[in-house]
Chain A
Amino acid sequence: MTTKRESNRIVTRRAFLRVSGAAGVGALLAACAAPAAPAPTAAPAAPAATEAPIATQVPIATPESVAPTAEPTVAPTEAPAAAGGGTLVFAAEAIGESLEPGLWNGFGNSNILDNVYDRLTQPGEKWTDPARPGLAESWEISPDGLVYTFKLRPGIKFHDGTEVSADAVVRSLNRMTDESDKSHVKGMYMNAEYGNANWDKFEKVDDMTVKLTLKQPDAAQLHRLFHPAAAIMSVKAMDEFGPEVGLNPVGAGPFKLERFVPGQEATLVAFDDYWQGRPAIDTVIFRGYPDEAAMIAAIEAGEVNFAAYPPSAAIQQFQNNPNLKVEKGPPLVNLFVGLNRQQPPMDNINVRRAINFAINRQNLIDGALYGLGELPASFVGPAEFGYDPAGLEISVYDPEKAKAALAESGLPQPVEITFSYENNRFWPQMAELIKSDLEAVGFTVTLDKLDASAYPAKVGAGETQLNMTQRSLWVPDPDNKVRLLHSSQGSAQGETGVAKSDMAAKYDELLDDGRSETDPEKRKAIYKEIQDLILEDLPYVMLAYYEKPFVVAGNVNVPPNAVNTERIFLRGITIGPA
């Protein structure tokens, strides 16, 4: 088993090396020739422009832009290089089996989805800003907050040349729940991410107008519509490929898919007719590196020039490498320990309090995250709407308080607990540090190290006592993070077991209030109440706001806000002279 994988990897890696090495040389040559072309710096300004199409600003429409990646060396020899251009080799932690937006296929595939598809709305200037118009040019919201009428932007083309129409929009967002749809795949569930459970109906008004009717007002609805799952796809592709549309995605995004090898690699090329202007780079190769050591080696060797998931253990090493840039992301990723109250003694609030005060968070940030994190308050981070710094006083390291709380629990010490975690990234180090902290105040901790495949299943089934997870702000609204964990309809109930407890009704009520409230100030007050409740009830213990880093080669320019948590928009990226 192992040997097979091993040999597979070696062979493909060698093949990959050959291709990407050639691509790298190609990019290098192209970049060397670049100074001759006028103002390559114009391109980075592109993402800053808000809505105006900016195609004219990007002086590239050269024939070599469509050169197939299989023979990248052709590009520099046959055509003079234009400003920008070049190939981005994107290292993902893995490439999944399908590009179906309705199913979860790992971070790497959602990165591809984000760049192949466009959506009705798009993120604001800053990640936590209000949503901007995307494929929808404008919208109207009824006074009761229940009816959204979207006007589509005319003249936008999908990669197959067909036009973005009301039919495409309605079908793309209804196909996940409509079993009669030709492209429906049984078991699709990602529609929850764009709030589809709260939808009463979503329908076509005329060719360029669609109407969304909600069951309850949802202050985050416009944000949810730019989740990767809310991809708008071509009607022709849905008809032609049916349930296989996940292998043949046709969107209206800045890049089109040229080649997809499930589980291994994807090649994207710039879409010349993209409505916001053709992207600066010509080609993006996505490659999965499930093995951390292999990824580190590939980054160091320059085989990849964009690493979205660099192993945290190697960050310092990358920082010392003059050919690489390490960029720190915003603190939008929550790391926390779920305390499953369905498994005694986690039902005891004093045990949960003891755990909260026992953990030395600064140690975790320095030791396991290599400084890439901030001390946490509650589930809403400092860059997000509704942040309440009061939590900094409670999510704090205080071993004396921890010992007192444990004594108050009335349990005989040491209290035996089992801590489950995923055996990759920084989790094992975190687990060892936390074990040591917990044992210092009177616990005995058994570490339960699980595979990436076994862990979610065990947690989801509610079979873990303590577990450790991350939650990223993919939809920049507090409802997105908290609903999954706490709502009795949420999909992540196994972490805390709250949904099955007598607290469920209380959380549900507050969550629904927070979602329905449209006045920002009142809404803030509700999320403060929720945070206060969480800090008192401790369904989980916050560890840190992780500032997820990414690593790029020295000549890759990433505009601010292209990378937020695991959401990455490659359109504004340029590759300059090396």
Chain B
Amino acid sequence: MAATQTAQAQRLTSANAMAQPIESSRGMRRAVRFARRFKAATVGLLFLIVISLGALFAPALSPHHPTRPNIPARFQPPGGQHLLGTDDLGRDIATRIVYGARNTLAAGVLSVVLASLVGSAIGIIAAYRGGWLDNLLMRAMDVMLSFPAILLAILIVASLRPGMVNLIVAIAFSLIPTFARLVRSVVLGLTHLEHVTASRALGANDRHIVFKHIIPNTVPLILIQATAALAVAISTAAALNYLGLGVEPPQPDWGLMVAEGQKHVFSAAYIPLIPGLFITAAVLSVNFIGDAVRDYLDPVLKR
């Protein structure tokens, strides 16, 4: 423990030393301070960055094809020519993991972006307009919240058609109510603040108030909520893919890879285990980052 801390400290000082000659920028120092304070989050962030880069440059990184079977090479355990082994059709698991990251992470990120945009819009409209509209929107959100998120998502994908787009829409839909409720409560507080009242007294219209005073003040909270939601979204995406409601085989996806590999769990456990570990690592990373972002932005905890 102590050793790793010193090692880390050394690394950090060397990073500082490297940064020194080039006019030690404020951003860099802040980043280093952040990294020192939130170690787990930094590791998570690095993991996500590596995976994202891998997903982005997958074709350049891997000599193997993600979907083309190669029967003679199947069931090769991790190590050797295939870093993470091959699956039951002889496809390189590492390659499928990086290609699969495109689906898994994209589904998570896009659904959270979609949910935060729609949810925030609903929250702002409800809070700002108030009255019957507020009531209607919030009761609708209550109805949606009364279903477990995953069940709601399954319902939506199953009634539409399994596929990537519908998967994203379904996950986004199940995440909307939390965003809407959070933003509404924040905006309710904001509308009564003095600078908003002053602005209105000066003749500002609704558009000006919403865009200049309300939205900028809700962004940090939306960001915190979004990181929390991202963890849920990634695991939901993996779960739906596991159930066969997401990408179509032979396209790779982490959840789907677990499902396809589970029948080999007794004989070649690494086939379902590896994608499972990646799902766990990704969700943990996002959670760590979410915690760190909350702590960082929270003025009470900051002191």
Contacts and interface: CB of A to CB of B under 8 A. Distances in A.
Q: A and B: partners?
A: yes
Interface of A: 2, 292-293, 296, 300, 311, 313-314, 316-317, 320, 363, 366-367, 423, 428-429, 432-433, 435-436, 447, 449
B263 A292 contact: yes
A71 to B, nearest CB: 32
Contact of B263 (A311, A436, A447): A311
B69 A433 contact: yes
18 contacts: A292-B263, A293-B262, A293-B263, A293-B265, A296-B266, A313-B264, A314-B264, A316-B267, A363-B69, A363-B71, A367-B71, A429-B88, A432-B67, A433-B89, A436-B67, A447-B248, A447-B249, A449-B249
Contacts of B249: 428, 432, 447, 449
B244 interface: yes
A300 B267 contact: no
Interface residues of B, number: 20
A317 B267 contact: yes
Given A423-B244, A436-B68, A429 B263 contact: no
Contacts of A433: 69, 71, 89
B281 to A, nearest CB: 24
Interface in B240-276: 244, 248-250, 260, 262-267
A314 B74 contact: no
A366 B89 CA distance: 10
A416 B89 CA distance: 24
Given A432-B89, A449-B249, A296 B263 contact: yes
A300 B260 CA distance: 20
A314 B266 contact: yes
Given A428-B260, A429-B89, 8 more contacts: A293-B262, A293-B263, A313-B263, A316-B267, A367-B69, A367-B90, A436-B69, A447-B249
Contacts, number: 53
Interface string B224-252: 00000000000000000000100011100
Given A366-B71, A367-B69, A447-B249, A300 B264 contact: no
Contacts of B68: 436
A433 B267 CA distance: 22
A423 B68 CA distance: 20
B147 to A, nearest CB: 13
Listed from nearest, the 10 A-B pairs whose CB atoms lie closest are A317-B267, A367-B71, A313-B263, A432-B250, A363-B71, A317-B266, A366-B71, A433-B69, A436-B69, A436-B68
B74 A367 contact: yes
Contacts of B262: 293
A313 to B, nearest CB: 4
A5 to B, nearest CB: 13
Contacts of B267: 314, 316-317, 320
Contacts of A320: 267
Interface string B116-156: 00000000000000000000000000000000000000100
A423 B162 CA distance: 14
B250 to A, nearest CB: 5
Contacts of A363: 69, 71
Nearest to A314: B263
A317 B266 CA distance: 7
Nearest to A316: B267
Contacts of A436: 67-69, 250
A363 B71 CA distance: 6
A430 to B, nearest CB: 10
Contacts of A292: 263
B250 A435 contact: yes
B53 to A, nearest CB: 28
Contacts of B88: 313, 367, 429
Contacts of B69: 363, 367, 432-433, 436
Nearest to A315: B267
A213 B255 CA distance: 60
Interface in B33-67: 67
A423 B249 CA distance: 11
A367 B267 CA distance: 15
A495 B248 CA distance: 23
Contacts of A428: 249, 260
Nearest to A431: B249
Contacts of B248: 447, 449
A367 B248 CA distance: 20
A330 B167 CA distance: 44
Contacts of A293: 262-263, 265
Nearest to B266: A317
B70 to A, nearest CB: 9
Contacts of A313: 88, 263-264
Nearest to B72: A366
Nearest to A437: B69
Contacts of A317: 266-267
Contacts of B264: 313-314
B89 A367 contact: yes
A429 B89 CA distance: 8
A137 to B, nearest CB: 48
A316 B267 CA distance: 8
A431 to B, nearest CB: 8
A366 B74 CA distance: 10
B151 to A, nearest CB: 9
A235 B261 CA distance: 51
Interface string B74-96: 10000000000000111000000
A458 B265 CA distance: 33
A2 B240 CA distance: 13
Contacts of B266: 296, 300, 314, 317
